[in-house]
Structure 1
Amino acid sequence: MQYFKFLIRATNQHGVHSPFVYNLVTLCFYDKKKYSEYAKIETYKAQLIKTNTALQITDLGSGSQFTTSNTRQVKQIAKQSGASLKHAKLLFRLARYFQFKHSLELGTSLGISTQALALGNTNSEIISIEGCPEISAFTSENLKQHTINNVTVKTGDFAEVIPEQNQNTFDFVLFDGNHNKTATLHYFELLLPKIHNDTVFVFDDIYWSKDMTEAWEHIKNHPKVKVTIDTFQYGFVFFRKEQVKEHFSIRL
């Protein structure tokens, strides 16, 4: 039902009158070029889907929609909760388009999104926080094996690890861990002091639950938020003071 409502209100680049958003949609979202890095993204996920290694899961968030088991195989996690290739490639294009220097990811999981962001700008520095120690250790080592050297994976509760970061500002933050309204809004508030005018926030699974959709609506209405783009899977947030406050729904 939510997706049906989204399709009714969504548009493509032709319904966008903001030059900033129009360029983002046409040059990044709808960029059809076949980048050589796509093969690395595809290989990374394909190898995870074949990995039988079992990990002990410590879930600090809302948990999985697929299983309540505390032990999961890497291939199960990759299939059920890993970023799709479509969305991983979008994150790659986003990092490439904006050339983020300092990024933060809340929810490393198996590093599918992490790797894509890292490939988008190999000169960037990415901090990724993962709540589960075994997933964190596995992914940190796996990223190194795939020659991803610009990522630091940290382990712990987001609310505790975020305040420990010395980075004054982040160019990009991906919220992809705790799908809970209260927690999501708390992380949002914790990170607002670390934004600059061109910082980009992306929230994953904004229609995951009624709770998450309420969090998304709250974020859209925050006075510091100027532009949002709802792509159904992702909610993009921009703080550009020169922009008129406006909300877009864009089909990918």
Structure 2
Amino acid sequence: MPKIFHLSKAGARLLYKVRHHKGHGIHSPFVFNFITKVIEEKTQYHAYDDVRNYLSHFPDLSFRENKTHRLLLKIVNYFNIKKIVELGGGTGINTLYMTVTASDIECLSVELSPLKFSKAQMLYNEWNRNILQSNEPFPPINEKKDCIFVDLKNYKVSHNEMVTYLMSLTHKDSVIIIDGIRTNRKLQTLWKMLVQQDDTVVSLDLFHLGILFFDKKYYKRNYKLSF
């Protein structure tokens, strides 16, 4: 990758650190509360330990908890999410964080790599949650979902088809979380496509992570946040 791209990326990250830190300058009560009570919230939930302790039984699985893991857990908990679709489930670690907060959460995890699919399957076996797996790029789903999480590192499909598929799964209270929106220029373009959809109302750009909301009672706006 050219050095000039690294420089521009570093400059953009510095700019994001200056803007909308800890909710400063945010006039939307919904977005302000989401920033202060979810993104910036520092409570050490017991559920973090539940996941860590469970993963300690899988020493061959590479794992290091990060802020994205914690954010996924907090989002599911904050919105009392029950029905999840995960596109790019990888080895299943993100799935654990999204399903740990309640026993009645249902998650469909899509993973296209046979090796990662198999590793995730082993991880889910003793995890007392309703997790279904699929290796289809766009498995047929006949109901709307509360949360859709996309890990772009593990989910490489047609961008146009992905946008159409994601929009078909949402209701007004859904949240879509996209990890890896600045991995490369093509994925930046994908993120812009999602932000510009008519159904998308509020979009939060956390630099590498993007979050979308769809309730028409809010004003359409894109926020760039420090994370």
TM bucket by the smaller chain?
0.7 to 0.9
Following superposition, the deviation at residue 182 of structure 1 comes to 6.6
Please give the alpha-carbon distance, in whole angstroms, between the structure 1 residues aligned to 2:141 and 2:33.
32
C-alpha offsets along residues 164-218 of structure 1, whole Å, 9 cap, x if unaligned? 223x101110111467887234212113122111111111100000110111112
- Equivalent residue for 2:15? 8
172-181 or 108-117, larger mean C-alpha shift:
172-181
Following superposition, the deviation at residue 107 of structure 1 comes to 0.9
2:79 paired residue among 98, 112, 117: 98
1:117 paired residue among 73, 82, 98: 98
- Figure out how many residues of one structure are paired with residues of the other and give that number: 217
Q: TM-score, normalised by structure 1?
A: 0.78
Please give the alpha-carbon distance, in whole angstroms, between the structure 1 residues aligned to 2:96 and 2:69.
8
- Equivalent residue for 2:29? 19
C-alpha offsets along residues 47-101 of structure 1, whole Å, 9 cap, x if unaligned? 55x30xxxxxxxxxxxxxxxxxxxxxx53xx57xxxx522101100010001111
SS at match of 2:110: strand
1:107 paired residue among 79, 85, 88: 88
Asked whether 1:126 is paired with 2:110, we answer no
Please give the alpha-carbon distance, in whole angstroms, between the structure 2 residues aligned to 1:251 and 1:212.
19
Q: Do the aligned residues in 2 keep the contact of 1:179 with 1:208 (CA within 8 Å)?
A: no
Please give the alpha-carbon distance, in whole angstroms, between the structure 1 residues aligned to 2:104 and 2:215.
24
- Equivalent residue for 1:144? 125
Following superposition, the deviation at residue 106 of structure 1 comes to 0.2
Structure 1: gaps (5+ residues): 52-73
Q: Do the aligned residues in 2 keep the contact of 1:227 with 1:243 (CA within 8 Å)?
A: yes
Q: Do the aligned residues in 1 keep the contact of 2:152 with 2:178 (CA within 8 Å)?
A: no
Please give the alpha-carbon distance, in whole angstroms, between the structure 2 residues aligned to 1:219 and 1:250.
17
Please give the alpha-carbon distance, in whole angstroms, between the structure 1 residues aligned to 2:129 and 2:195.
34
Please give the alpha-carbon distance, in whole angstroms, between the structure 1 residues aligned to 2:192 and 2:176.
14
Q: CA RMSD in A?
A: 2.1
26-35 or 3-12, larger mean C-alpha shift:
3-12
C-alpha offsets along residues 102-124 of structure 1, whole Å, 9 cap, x if unaligned? 11000111111100000133321
Q: Structure 2: which amino acid aligns with 1:165?
A: I
